[in-house]
Structure 1
């Protein structure tokens, strides 16, 4: 059977013309012949795109061919063809250059309407697709995917996609306002006048490591967070602390996007690191800072593993130390800092008095001393975890551990051989976090008017 496909275009002056964009000969004897093939659909989409883009650019040039003030027809200096890259293929369009009218500012003698309309020569939706998929998987795989399903130019390279992603991320950075020491802008009386806030927000912040391309350093640290709101979608946060100079502003924008107001409760859960604590400090007046229970138990678990090895050579001492560790865990779980720190001190003293040939005993002593310092430094952030659990409140940033894996591990480390610069990793984190929490498209719609129109509305029109 033969199929002829046509498209009808209506010009701004009301005239219409119909063009044939494709003729197909299709069989119907086997399942492989039913419907359009990928190659056929690519050809049709490219042909449709060429007709539509050509008509739109011609209409735009025709409208600018006369002076916008006096209506005088402008002289054309020259014409050239430009290549506009779209989701459905590269389209060549004629680009005229006109002389400015004498009634206009003559700082520039000539102008090109299409240069003003298409400054980057790349469609916003193509940039969005490239940024989205390159944020989720490698640049090479992204290139292959786009070429497989869309009539993309076969010359498209992974380097082009990498440059486009960097340009989008840099624009995001430019949009970010300046850093501030404190983001509390109201006093207690003003906060009392605010409307009742939505449910509480829980923010978990942790760190991960990315392979460095610097020869003198194998890895560098990145900071990753997740903000969970009771009534709104969750948001991700990612940055390289050693590169970023706006960490607090970045966190503030995440909270603001979730509708946060200054009388709304925010719980910050961290691992006790200084850089993480500084980022969350002076962020929200109605806030609490809690040391993540996971990081406490992780340190105790490490010491328990050492004690299991000690039991082979000193079983009595190992049992006594194991008993102290269980007591420490119980006291800290119930928020009993006084007794907990007392037992930690006893543990450090007892370990100093034990004589053994256990090879990892020195590491056990070091872990106990570091744990004592860790609890002392973060004592003001240790609540009654048992009580919080009874009331259904979070006690651990397990959700952030999975966030580190989702944001950092799957794109930067696991099965990935690529090494990163601090700037490159930071820019990638900006687009990847927005892709994962679903806000990347909204950012493009904010930049490029017209992208926000839904397919249903356009088709209905």
Structure 2
């Protein structure tokens, strides 16, 4: 059978603007693989339709701007021109003539191209969104291959182009961040009274450094959770973000929460994440994750069990003292726990025994005392929080590290990163994972939300 695809474009008064044949091909009907359109046929049809639509829209726009906006005089033409516009269904070559400015208007330049007023970028927002979304989830190279497989874009997509476009999106998002910091209302801003508390878990991971290949650098990610609101992810490379509080304000707003919302920060007590928590939300309640406290206690207990083979009496006494320190920590008595931990470290340091791992035991005991001293303000009554059903662990933050960092930066794809590149990818990846990337694009390009609303009607019409 012969398949013919034609395109007719009409104006609001049903007058035909343009019409013509888009594609013609023969199609068999006697084999399974011949039923329906193939990928190549569908891509050719889409490319033809897109070319006709974009060309007609550009011609209509040029016709409306052929005359002076003030006096209505016909503008003098300087000559023809051409431009190219990349879309999700092909790159369209367009006529882009230049005109002289009308004498009734102040001249900022001798000539101008009206089409530049419409095509403020040479890539369609829908294609930019697709590139950004998939490059946030998989590698740049795989994204380019995926788009070439399913869209009629030919060889215009490659890894470097996709990466450049993603960085452009991330840079624009950073530039849009408000200068407002969490913890107070903006001038004249009317916000609802905060209800409850937001639980935020922060943790860090390490990725390979492209510029210093012998060392890795830290990437910090977090997850914000509030009852009745969708969860949100965020991430950054500390040296690339001078005001991380702005980013956290954006996270709260995306959850539909005011920036004065009470926040509880859960961290593992590391220096970098503890300092970052204070910058994200200065008024937040900071809590040390119980799991990391218990993990230190468990490590010490293992060394003491080894000591029991050489000095059982001393080992039994140390085990009892460890249990009392752990009990104090569990019930939030950080001051007493610190005094006992410092005494334990001092006594372990003067032990006289043949235990081969004595040095490690001494180091672990001193490390526990230091850890409690550094994080005393974040030690709370974990027993009370546990009884009230409140969180005491950053397990959800650990899973965020695996989801945001490991699967894209480290484990699945053994890549090396610059700090700038990792920071920018984090901005789009976190939004792609929590479903807010599309919202970001519709804020920049409101017409995309109109297209989204038309999808159900178009499906019903089809």
| TM-score, length-scaled by structure 2 | 0.91
Q: Distance in 1 between matches of 2:26 and 2:309?
A: 80
- 1:351 match: 348
Say whether the 8 Å CA contact 2:170–2:427 is kept in structure 1: yes
Deviation at 1:98, TM superposition (A): 1.1
- 1:265 match: 262
Deviation at 1:159, TM superposition (A): 0.6
Deviation at 1:257, TM superposition (A): 2.6
Secondary structure class of the residue paired with 1:387:
helix
- Asked if residue 457 in structure 1 is aligned to residue 451 in structure 2, the reply is no
Residue 137 to residue 310, structure 1, CA distance change in 2 (3 Å)? farther
Q: Distance in 2 between matches of 1:418 and 1:197?
A: 42
Secondary structure class of the residue paired with 1:85:
strand
Q: Distance in 2 between matches of 1:433 and 1:275?
A: 20
Ranges in structure 2 where 5+ consecutive residues have no aligned partner? none
Say whether the 8 Å CA contact 2:406–2:412 is kept in structure 1: no
Say whether the 8 Å CA contact 2:329–2:337 is kept in structure 1: yes
- Asked if residue 249 in structure 1 is aligned to residue 250 in structure 2, the reply is no
Q: Deviations over 1:389-415 (max 9, x none)?
A: 111111111100111111111111113
- 2:20 match: 19
Deviation at 1:260, TM superposition (A): 2.7
Deviation at 1:309, TM superposition (A): 4.4
Residue 248 to residue 15, structure 1, CA distance change in 2 (3 Å)? same
Secondary structure class of the residue paired with 2:417:
coil
Residue 34 to residue 358, structure 1, CA distance change in 2 (3 Å)? farther
Deviation at 1:87, TM superposition (A): 0.6
- 2:42 match: 41
Deviation at 1:22, TM superposition (A): 1.9
Secondary structure class of the residue paired with 1:101:
coil
Supply the RMSD in Å over aligned alpha carbons.
2.7
- Asked if residue 292 in structure 1 is aligned to residue 279 in structure 2, the reply is no
Say whether the 8 Å CA contact 2:54–2:92 is kept in structure 1: yes
Deviation at 1:151, TM superposition (A): 0.9
Say whether the 8 Å CA contact 2:328–2:334 is kept in structure 1: yes
Q: Distance in 1 between matches of 2:25 and 2:10?
A: 25
Say whether the 8 Å CA contact 2:310–2:355 is kept in structure 1: yes
Residue 359 to residue 75, structure 1, CA distance change in 2 (3 Å)? farther
Deviation at 1:127, TM superposition (A): 0.9
- 1:61 match: 62
Secondary structure class of the residue paired with 1:125:
helix
Residue 136 to residue 158, structure 1, CA distance change in 2 (3 Å)? same
Residue 301 to residue 101, structure 1, CA distance change in 2 (3 Å)? same
Deviation at 1:241, TM superposition (A): 0.9
Q: Distance in 2 between matches of 1:381 and 1:241?
A: 22
Residue 125 to residue 358, structure 1, CA distance change in 2 (3 Å)? farther
- 1:8 match: 8
- 1:92 match: 93
- 2:184 match: 184
Deviation at 1:136, TM superposition (A): 1.0
- 1:332 match: 329
Q: Deviations over 1:245-286 (max 9, x none)?
A: 111221222123323336643211122234434443376687
User: Which has the larger displacement, 65-74 or 271-280?
Assistant: 271-280
Residue 314 to residue 137, structure 1, CA distance change in 2 (3 Å)? farther
| TM-score, length-scaled by structure 1 | 0.91
Q: Deviations over 1:79-135 (max 9, x none)?
A: 122111111111111111111111111121211112221132111111111111111
Q: Distance in 2 between matches of 1:69 and 1:98?
A: 15
Say whether the 8 Å CA contact 1:264–1:286 is kept in structure 2: no
- Asked if residue 280 in structure 1 is aligned to residue 277 in structure 2, the reply is yes
Q: Distance in 1 between matches of 2:259 and 2:149?
A: 49
Q: Distance in 1 between matches of 2:138 and 2:317?
A: 50
The number of aligned residues is 457
- 1:154 match: 155
Ranges in structure 1 where 5+ consecutive residues have no aligned partner? none
Residue 321 to residue 154, structure 1, CA distance change in 2 (3 Å)? same
Secondary structure class of the residue paired with 1:105:
coil
Residue 338 to residue 246, structure 1, CA distance change in 2 (3 Å)? closer
Residue 18 to residue 125, structure 1, CA distance change in 2 (3 Å)? same
Residue 77 to residue 293, structure 1, CA distance change in 2 (3 Å)? same
Say whether the 8 Å CA contact 1:198–1:231 is kept in structure 2: no
